[in-house]
């Protein structure tokens, strides 16, 4: 793999200067460096997952490396709330990677979040090495889905714009990329013409993105950007019609890890803000308790849990469509 110390980050539109110092190389042949790595593959498709900001360890660099116990413990908890939505339809692969802690983003804005995420050369190096190892040793040419949230989605956008562009042989097997809780903008897609945003429930090779908030959202939102694209996680439409919670296939209770059916969350696309509006969930109960980052009324921490079974069923639908399309192509050839 070529050095990534001078990646052209097309979604920011400029070169990021190299970080000084040596990068600690994580060995992904060591199973202890994987948050999730199946002993045996049960399904015909994989998920490659990049977890969100879970690091709270304070040190001089504000960085949690892959051996940080606090980050690893928190990542083991958050995967149950997010990537495990797909664990009945795909094999889940998830590397530990170096990430910034919450302090880096406090009292900030999206531009700084974007810059700080892209400057984490160590985290990018980890993800790229994990991807190299995954594709060379684990994937065995199975279709795969990319899944990420928040800081993980900031990194995933770099994976899509840079790594996948450089590896078209891998990219052709991408069923979809669920890049949740981080802005995917019109400008990003314009700068990356090899990528496209989802338009319906079963298109493949597409990016799926949304972030959820209350109608009463107020105050700061550090992840707000102009011209964000969004799709409804119940109807899988980009139209602005309210989809009632009765259509929600099931939400995950993060305390009990039990599914509530129908789900607790309705969903309505707000194209102007580029977000999903949920009016059926109680703000005080479900808003993320980080007012310095997300103000009041943000359901950023519930992006997966609110629509847990919808995500699962949609992934299965896209996998089946991908396999169907490939079969037709083989017959045609």
Per-residue pLDDT tens for 81-127?
999 999 999 999 999 999 999 888 887 888 888 888 888 999 999 99
pLDDT for residue 58:
84
Does a structural domain hold residue 19?
Answer: no
At 326, is the pLDDT very low, low, confident or very high (cuts 50, 70, 90)?
A: confident
Q: What is the pTM of this model?
A: 0.92
Asked if the structure places residue 211 within a domain, the reply is: yes
Work out how many domains the chain is built from and give that number: 1
Residue 3 in any domain: the answer is no
Task: Give the structural domain span for 194.
Answer: 32-332
Does residue 15 lie in a domain region? no
Query: Does residue 4 lie in a domain region?
Result: no
Calculate what percentage of the chain has a pLDDT beyond 90. Answer: 81
Q: Note every long-range contact of 213-216, with CB atoms under 8 Å and residues 24 or more positions apart, other chains counting.
A: 213/275, 213/276, 213/277, 213/278, 213/297, 213/298, 213/299, 213/300, 214/277, 214/278, 214/279, 214/281, 214/283, 214/287, 214/297, 214/298, 214/299, 215/277, 215/279, 215/297, 216/283, 216/296, 216/297
For residue 285, is pLDDT > 80?
yes
Identify whether 20 is part of a domain.
no
Q: Is 24 part of a structural domain of the chain?
A: no
Please report the pLDDT score of residue 133 as a whole number.
Answer: 98
| Within a domain: 322 | yes
């Amino acid at each position: 793999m070529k050095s990534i110390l001078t990646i052209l980050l097309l979604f920011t539109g400029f070169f990021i200067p190299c970080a000084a110092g040596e990068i600690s190389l994580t060995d992904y042949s060591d199973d202890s460096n994987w948050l999730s790595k199946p002993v045996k593959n049960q399904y015909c498709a994989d998920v490659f997952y990049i977890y969100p900001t879970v690091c709270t360890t304070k040190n001089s660099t504000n960085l949690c490396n892959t051996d940080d116990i606090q980050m690893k413990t928190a990542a083991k908890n958050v995967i149950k709330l997010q990537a495990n939505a797909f664990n009945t339809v795909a094999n889940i692969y998830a590397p530990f990677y170096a990430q910034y802690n919450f302090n880096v983003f406090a009292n900030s804005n999206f531009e700084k979040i974007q810059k700080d995420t892209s400057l984490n050369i160590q985290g990018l190096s980890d993800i790229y090495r994990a991807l190299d190892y995954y594709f060379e040793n684990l994937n065995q040419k199975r279709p795969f889905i990319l899944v990420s949230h928040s800081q993980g989605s900031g990194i995933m956008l770099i994976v899509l714009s840079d790594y996948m562009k450089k590896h078209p042989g891998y990219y052709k097997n991408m069923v979809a990329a669920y890049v949740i809780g981080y802005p995917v903008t019109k400008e990003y897609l314009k700068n990356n013409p090899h990528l496209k945003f989802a338009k319906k429930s079963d298109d493949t090779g597409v990016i799926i993105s949304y972030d959820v908030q209350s109608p009463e959202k107020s105050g700061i939102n550090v992840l707000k950007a102009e011209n964000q694209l969004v799709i409804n996680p119940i109807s899988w439409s980009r139209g602005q019609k309210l989809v009632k919670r009765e259509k929600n296939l099931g939400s995950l209770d993060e305390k009990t890890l039990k599914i509530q059916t129908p789900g607790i969350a309705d969903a309505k696309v707000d194209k102007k803000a580029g977000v999903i509006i949920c009016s059926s969930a109680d703000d005080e109960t479900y808003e993320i308790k980080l007012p310095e980052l997300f103000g009041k009324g943000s359901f950023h921490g519930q992006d997966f849990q609110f629509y847990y079974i919808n995500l699962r069923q949609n992934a299965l639908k896209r996998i089946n469509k991908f396999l169907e399309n490939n079969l037709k192509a083989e017959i045609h050839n």
